[in-house]
Structure 1
Amino acid sequence: MSSPTETVRRPRRTAPRVLQTVLTAAAGTLLVALTLVTCIDVVARYWFNAPLSGAYELTEIFLASLIFLALPLTTARNEHVEVDLLDAAAGSRIARIVRPVTGLLSAGVLAIFAWRLWEHAARLAEDGAVTDSLSIPLAPVGFLAAGACAISALAAALNALRP
């Protein structure tokens, strides 16, 4: 039993941990919203012959957002799909040398994606691009994708440099 003078230690709220919590909560919320929109659309379409207006657009936006919100989480946890042909052929020593190089290469590719997506989102914002039926602005989705790729690039670089 602990004495009243002892303090209970809680895990520190570091920026990566807070970011992980926010991204996980946002992705979970989007997954629930995507499921609800799909269920409502299917029920309304087949039982009442009245499909949910804009369901296709909402599904597209929710799915794209969900993928990009999950990208930094997947990258930070090293949970991307990998093909380890080099490990089997070359052995563990070479794999240990190549792994940081491929990690930094992945970080570079993600950084380029972030840059290009940011430019594209800026053009969408400048043009005032919206979806066809619901007039939802497209630029925020582009900026979300760019930010997620930037965070993923940082996570990939940190993973590559970690011993």
Structure 2
Amino acid sequence: MSFTHWLKDHYSERGPIMYIAFVLEAIAALTLFSLMLLTCADVIGRYLFANSVDGTTELTEMAIAIMIFSVLPIVTWRGGHVVVDIFDNLFSSKIITALSLLSALLISSTLYLLGIRVFELAARSIRRGEITDFLELPVGHIVQYIALMSWATAAFMISYGIYRILIGKK
């Protein structure tokens, strides 16, 4: 079976978004796997050799940021966020649709503005040469990644999120 056929069998998305979803999920999976290996090596080193892996906390923090922000656009695209529908029985479907559109616009604009601010902080961090305390890894590139994924999430929310609301698909 070819890779494309495997993707079509396992992903509901079609077109370029199918490949984007695969790449972002692969990044998250590889990050999670390397986090597991790091934790195992740290525990084994600590208990068997009385010496833990240096910089485990810093690497774990960076890995969690990479993992969370790599799947955020895909979760948004698929509509996988938690939705509270307390008022759905009280209002008409037109009002619910309008509130959903307002929510999607507010979320996407907030993520876009958040991405701008985070990118500014990343640029400042790179300009100043900020590094982590122990391993001395540059911080700005991870922060740039967070900004880019925030923008991707905003774009996915504004495009497919609003499309899903307008066609009435939950």
Q: TM-score, normalised by structure 1?
A: 0.87
Instruction: Answer whether contact 2:77 2:161 (CA < 8 A) is retained.
Output: no
Query: Could you list the runs of 5+ residues in structure 1 that have no partner in the other structure?
Result: 1-8
Instruction: Answer whether contact 2:66 2:146 (CA < 8 A) is retained.
Output: yes
Structure 2 counterpart of 1:23: 24
Structure 2 counterpart of 1:6: none
Structure 1 counterpart of 2:67: 66
CA 1:101–1:159 in structure 2 vs 1: closer, same or farther (change >3 Å)?
farther
Instruction: Answer whether contact 2:77 2:157 (CA < 8 A) is retained.
Output: yes
**Displacement of 1:158:** 1.1
Instruction: Answer whether contact 1:99 1:160 (CA < 8 A) is retained.
Output: no
Distance in 2 between residues matched to 1:27 and 1:64, nearest whole Å? 10
**Displacement of 1:91:** 4.4
Query: Could you list the runs of 5+ residues in structure 2 that have no partner in the other structure?
Result: 9-13
Structure 2 counterpart of 1:80: 81
**Displacement of 1:73:** 1.0
**Residue correspondences, number:** 155
Distance in 2 between residues matched to 1:136 and 1:81, nearest whole Å? 35
**Percent identity for Structure 1 against Structure 2:** 32
Distance in 2 between residues matched to 1:140 and 1:20, nearest whole Å? 22
Higher-Rg structure is 1
- Which amino acid counterpart does residue 14 of structure 1 have in structure 2? G
Matches within 5 A, 1:148-163: 148-162=149-163, 163=166
Matches within 5 A, 1:128-139: 128-139=129-140
**CA RMSD in angstroms, aligned pairs only:** 1.9
Structure 2 counterpart of 1:3: none
Q: Secondary structure at the match of 2:88?
A: helix
Q: TM-score, normalised by structure 2?
A: 0.84
Instruction: Answer whether contact 2:79 2:161 (CA < 8 A) is retained.
Output: no
